[in-house]
Structure 1
Amino acid sequence: MSTRVARVLLALLVTASALTTGTAGAAADHTVTFVNRSGRTVWVGSTVNADGSVNLTSLPVLANGRSATVTVPESAAPGHWRGKFFARQGCTGTSGRDFRCTVGDCGVQADRCTTGEQPASLAEFNFDTRDGLAPWYNVSHVNAFSLPITIEAVGATVPPGSNSCASAGCTTDVLPFCPPEHVRYAPDGSRINCVSPNRDAPTNYSDAVKARCPRAYAWSGHDTEPGNQTVFQCASCRGFTVTFHGGS
């Protein structure tokens, strides 16, 4: 076998191995850009799964109309990042001392979460360098609907006829349609949250969400319903844009 042929075969084997293991795109971490169109200031919050995923710090505060980008540390050990982002709203106090939020409260630090979040609309992701179909993503209102969220893939190459890399979530505000018993109010009397009475079963809450935001989770078993549009994947994208839209 000539040296040239051997080199060609080696290159083909390396390429095939990368495609099989799903590590071809693992060299560059994905980014998530947050856009605030909610009409109010939001503090971006994030929590992670209990699987070694790295907690994020230095998360941005966004005035209305502003945006910011973070890099997801998926290539660091353990080779994945599984977690969620949400808008912390109605926040007051001094970071590190008495900082609290009306929605999405997750500790006294303004730039990161130190406890589990309160019920809020969620943008959920599964970045995995060993999964050739990843990243996976969805918008979840399983716990609550605090404001509309959309997730859009950035820089994706989608084959014709493919369902990959679709938009998740909705721009529709469900708060005006929240069953009265599930409404939560801000100090000024405005509706600021609609909290699910049972995340693990269909309810009048999940019916209200599904009717107006069909491309998001309304309850934990929503993905088992025929024809559901709850979970998406986009292996070819550079990252995502998460937009917080206006609510009541």
Structure 2
Amino acid sequence: MRKTASLLAVALLLLFGAGAATAQGTSTADRTITFANRSGETLWIGANVNADGSQQLTDLPVLADGESATITVPESGEPQYWRGKFFARQDCSGEPGESFHCAVGDCGTEPGTCTTGEQPTGLAEFNFDPNDAGAPWYNVSYVNAVALPITIEPTGAEPPPDSGQCEQVGCSEPLLEHCPPENLTDGADGQPQLCTNPSRDERTPYSDAVQEHCPRAYAWSKHDQEPGNDVMRNCPSCDGFTVTFHEGI
């Protein structure tokens, strides 16, 4: 098993906002995240931050199918770290600032920023911290729900042999077809759109299905405590990441 105590500590930090001791690092450059939309539909990118002073992001992109866009993560500005999550807002409509809402990943009435917590969906989670020599840390989480499959791939770095670092996480294959029927919600077009975890803190048929078909993503909240789990990575040598949203069905 390649997971270490530090890996577990950061996993818990990402999911629950817990504090963790960090080693002194030397990286101060702000890294980038490129969002790639391969979902077959228009996506509004959403982001929420941990309750630790991390800066909420604004002017997040709207991507037609096949488009990509890049943002810079403010890891070197105040408070000198950034910990949060990105997700796809799907099937959105309405007047910005007034009636704008999304069927999946809804987080307020502003298209370019989130003003509330997100509705359940899949998450690309990150911990950027220049004072942590192991950072950035990253994972895909389907702890709450899964809609579009997500992959995270570091850029500008090769995975060191046998280290577990800088590897792709998540999965690209559709997962909704494996959703237990009682957990599945259809979209306005009658097609499967969202699979919701009925109990995020325990093993369920939902988590078993996700874990079987996407072992490099969190399927439930304590997944990282299972022996041999394969859900968390770090990549201190990377210059950024590509987060890709794939077709859901």
Counterpart in the other structure of 2:193: 192
Q: Aligned AA for 1:153?
A: P
Report SS of the residue matched to 2:189: coil
Counterpart in the other structure of 1:61: 62
How many residue pairs get aligned? The number is 227
CA distance in 2, matches of 1:129, 1:80: 7
Q: Is the 8 A contact 2:159 2:167 kept in 1?
A: no
**Unaligned segments of structure 2, at least 5 residues:** 1-22
Report SS of the residue matched to 2:190: coil
CA distance in 1, matches of 2:160, 2:130: 21
TM-score for both structures, normalised by structure 1: 0.90
CA distance in 2, matches of 1:158, 1:44: 27
Q: Aligned AA for 2:246?
A: H
Identity %: 60
The Cα offsets for residues 67-109 of structure 1, whole Å up to 9 and x where unpaired, read as 0000000111111100000000000111111000000000000
1:222-241 residue pairs with structure 2 within 5 A? 222-241=223-242
CA distance in 2, matches of 1:103, 1:163: 32
Q: Is the 8 A contact 2:160 2:166 kept in 1?
A: no
Counterpart in the other structure of 2:24: 21
1:29-48 residue pairs with structure 2 within 5 A? 29-48=30-49
CA distance in 1, matches of 2:76, 2:165: 22
Q: Aligned AA for 2:61?
A: P
Report SS of the residue matched to 1:113: coil
Report deviation, 1:163. 1.5
Counterpart in the other structure of 2:170: 169
Q: Aligned AA for 1:21?
A: Q
Report SS of the residue matched to 1:90: strand
Report SS of the residue matched to 2:93: coil
Report deviation, 1:157. 4.2
The Cα offsets for residues 161-191 of structure 1, whole Å up to 9 and x where unpaired, read as 3211010100111101110110011111111
The Cα offsets for residues 169-218 of structure 1, whole Å up to 9 and x where unpaired, read as 00111101110110011111111000000000000000110010000000
Runs of 4+ in 1 over 2 A off after TM superposition: 157-162
CA distance in 1, matches of 2:143, 2:160: 31
Counterpart in the other structure of 2:136: 135
Report the RMSD for the aligned CA atoms in angstroms: 0.9
The Cα offsets for residues 13-54 of structure 1, whole Å up to 9 and x where unpaired, read as xxxxxxx7202x21x101000000000000000000000000
Counterpart in the other structure of 1:208: 209
Report SS of the residue matched to 1:243: strand
CA distance in 1, matches of 2:113, 2:72: 15
Counterpart in the other structure of 2:18: none
Q: Aligned AA for 2:185?
A: R
Largest Rg, 1 or 2: 1
CA distance in 2, matches of 1:54, 1:230: 25
CA distance in 1, matches of 2:41, 2:116: 24
CA distance in 1, matches of 2:245, 2:161: 29
Report SS of the residue matched to 2:177: helix
Counterpart in the other structure of 2:79: 78
CA distance in 2, matches of 1:159, 1:123: 22
Q: Aligned AA for 2:24?
A: T
